[in-house]
Amino acid sequence: MTVREALGYAKEELEGAGIFEAAMDAKYLLMEVAGLSSAELFFAAERKLEEGTVQKYRAVIERRRAREPLQYIVGTQEFMGLSFLVSPAVLIPRQDTERLVELALPHCSCARVLDLCTGSGCILLSLAKLSGLKSGVGVDLSKEALLVAKKNAERLLVSVELIESDLFENVQGIFDVIVSNPPYICAGEIGGLMPEVRDFEPRMALDGDVDGLCFYRRIAEGAGLYLRTGGRIFLEIGCTQAKEVSSLLEENGFEEIDVKKDYAGLDRVVCGCYRGE
């Protein structure tokens, strides 16, 4: 099978499974499996692939056809220009979340930063890498997620503390900044998500209970014990949750509450400043 034939076969298979960017996924997976660059693929269209490569390619196309996310197949996702390992134990870092990092960054240099529900560690580790924290603590309920975050910290050569904890449960100390992208999808809406998310991403990273707000309530209520007066909070939200999350912060000692939009123009981050009790 030549490169051209392989790409044609894969595109057809993926299109048949209703995958939107079939040609791009086909190309990307062949680059991975054959160890070729995009340019090499282009110029080597008539090159014959080794039988082993063809077999591996068929296997990954089969996985993608079953709607497994590309990122779990290749094992990485770029976020804030950095490469993060991902596995089915963690949510795949989203571009929307880069907005939160950009907003928090100016407040993080030499700061003590706490990331609740750290997952792959993408938020905390990119803040640490790009701004230089005084210290960083990332917590998650999932041991498996923390192992991924730990590997990412090692790969990026940043030193942070990663703790197994149900939100603040095992957290100690006072912080300058709290960041979080907690699970925020209403339990009843998970069934309607695209198969890549619904069937492959960890449910515990998605499920925000009946109204999607469960984690925001707990974070808003607990944050005052862990933030210094004047400390800042940045919460990623679902695009319909701005009002409720803003009220939760207001009721719990925060001021300068602001809602920021993502690049699609949707409400995406709520931030606030802790005024103390």
List the one residue from 53, 71, 77, 97 that touches ligand GLN (CB under 6 A). Answer: 97
Q: How far is the CB of 217 from ligand GLN (least distance, A)?
A: 15
CB 131 within 8 A of CB 101: no
For ligand GLN, which stretch binds (CB under 6 A), given 17-25, 158-166, 178-186, 187-195? 178-186
Decide if residue 69 touches ligand GLN (CB under 6 A): no
For ligand GLN, which stretch binds (CB under 6 A), given 4-12, 53-61, 69-77, 120-128? 120-128
CB closest to ligand GLN, residue no: 119
List the one residue from 36, 86, 103, 183 that touches ligand GLN (CB under 6 A). Answer: 183
Q: How far is the CB of 81 from ligand GLN (least distance, A)?
A: 16
User: Which one, of 275, 274, 273, 271, lies nearest residue 103 by Cα?
Assistant: 271
Is 212 or 231 the residue whose CB approaches ligand GLN more closely?
A: 212
List the one residue from 119, 136, 212, 253 that touches ligand GLN (CB under 6 A). Answer: 119
The alpha carbon of 65 is separated from its chain's Cα centroid by a whole number of angstroms, namely 23
Output the 3-class SS for the chain.
Answer: CEHHHHHHHHHHHHHHCCCCCHHHHHHHHHHHHHCCCHHHHHHCCCCECCHHHHHHHHHHHHHHHCCCCHHHHHCEEEECCEEEECCCCCCCCCHHHHHHHHHHHHHCCCCEEEEECCCCCHHHHHHHHHHCCCEEEEEECCHHHHHHHHHHHHHHCCCCEEEECCCCCCCCCCEEEEEECCCCECHHHHHHCCHHHHHHCCHHHCECCCCCCHHHHHHHHHHCCCEEEEEEEEEECCCCCHHHHHHHHHHCCEEEEEEEECCCCCEEEEEEEECCC
How many residues line the site for ligand GLN (CB under 6 A)? Answer: 13
Q: How far is the CB of 11 from ligand GLN (least distance, A)?
A: 30
List the one residue from 61, 91, 233, 270 that touches ligand GLN (CB under 6 A). Answer: 91
List the one residue from 85, 86, 158, 205 that touches ligand GLN (CB under 6 A). Answer: 205
Decide if residue 93 touches ligand GLN (CB under 6 A): yes
Decide if residue 246 touches ligand GLN (CB under 6 A): no
Decide if residue 177 touches ligand GLN (CB under 6 A): no
Decide if residue 10 touches ligand GLN (CB under 6 A): no
Positions touching ligand GLN (CB under 6 A) are: 91, 93, 97, 117-120, 122-123, 181-183, 205
